[in-house]
Amino acid sequence: MIKIGIIGAGNMGRLHASLAARGGAGKVVAVCDQDASRAIALAAEHGAAAFGSADELLGSGLDMAFVAVPNTQHAPLARKALERGLHVFVEKPFATSEADAEALLEAARQGGRRLFVGLNRRFAPVYAEARRLAAAPEFKARNINIIQNDGDMRNPPWATDIGLTGGFLYDTTVHFLDMAEFLMGPIAEISAVSSKAFYPIEDGFAILLQFSGGRFGVVSSCGYASWMSPFERVQVVGDHRTLVTEELDGLRWSPGLGTVIEAREYAKLPYEEKWGYAQMHAHMFAALASGKAALNDAEVGARTIRLIAACERSAASGGAAVAV
């Protein structure tokens, strides 16, 4: 039984504590949060101890830490846990700078501990099915188009605080840069433009992706939409074949000209399954038990930050192509 500590007792910390307890491979034994009342409440739900600081929690005899705090605190706390000899799960983003990502990756390598990142969409049924279809030899995926219209930059009020989030790309768009690679393979080159349309930070990006073999894609992402559905949409086109996902609710697939369009519907699944959180937990604990690679290993997390860094460099230079 893996002894687990939860750093951050907000929505994500509570979700991970619940899933860890339900999965049966681990037991939540410690919780900390800067709000002591939240730590005490979550600890009480799991028969765990509440601590006033991450340092106290990390020294309490754990096997694994779950880091679910504001973005800019992810890498420092995950690194500290690794240096204490713990396995670590860190919510996305893996880090909020390329330097921090590489340092965190090296800490995992040096310590011989497993480090996982919260790229839950890799495990969501809609995207798992999209990957299966796009990977079929007859599909021959050639381009991908992703639209992500975020509508939450007014709420919570810290959404535009780079000191907490690292910037717009790190919060939600990171999922779709990762999804482009998950469905199409490694990105070789990125060209991006950005704007400050309604907020004092870059709040919109148009990102051109170049893959090997002349394949390409586009990610369009903004933080000032109105949550009009679908606020995330992915389209992959191949040899007269197309698949389209709409949010995490459904997928439509055209297997060829003159064929019946098929559909998959996931809207009624429980939240933690539709969004892939439950499957991600099962996958991680199985990887810990077997020693096998995981779909959300540290290398994958670091890669997402390299992609963001390439977007930032390109946007800063007016859209010049940047190799990844």
113 contacts 298 by C-beta, under 8 angstroms: no
Quick one: pLDDT at residue 263?
98
263, with CB counted inside 10 A (0-12, 13-18, 19+), is: exposed
AA identity, residue 52: G
CB atoms within 10 A of CB 222: 22
Contact 311/168 with Cβ under 8 angstroms? no
Using 50 as the pLDDT threshold, list the residues of the chain that sit under it: none
- The span from the CA of 255 to the CA of 240, in Å, is 8
pLDDT of 157 reads 76
pLDDT at 220: 97
Q: Mind listing the pLDDT tens digit for each residue in 187-222? A: 999 999 999 999 999 999 999 999 999 999 999 999
Strands (E) across 15-142 are located at 26-32, 49-51, 64-67, 87-90, 115-117
Q: Residue 76: name the closest of 106, 118, 104, 98 by CA.
A: 104
How far the first Cα of the chain sits from its last, in Å, is 40
Domains present along the chain, CATH in parentheses = 2-120+279-297 (3.40.50.720), 121-269+303-323 (3.30.360.10)
The token duo for 46 is: 């799991």
Rounded CA-CA distance 165/149 in Å is 18
pLDDT of residue 86: 98
Beta-carbon neighbour count of residue 209 at 10 Å?
27
CB 176 within 8 A of CB 232: yes
Instruction: Find tokens 């989030």 and name the residue.
Output: 165
pTM equals 0.96
Are 68 and 94 contacting, i.e. CB atoms less than 8 angstroms apart? no
Instruction: Compute how many other C-beta atoms are within 10 angstroms of the C-beta atom of residue 239.
Output: 10
Token digits for 199? 């907020």
DSSP string, 175-212: HHHHHHHHHH--EEEEEEEEE-SSSSS--EEEEEEEEG
Q: Which residues pair with 47 in a beta bridge?
A: none
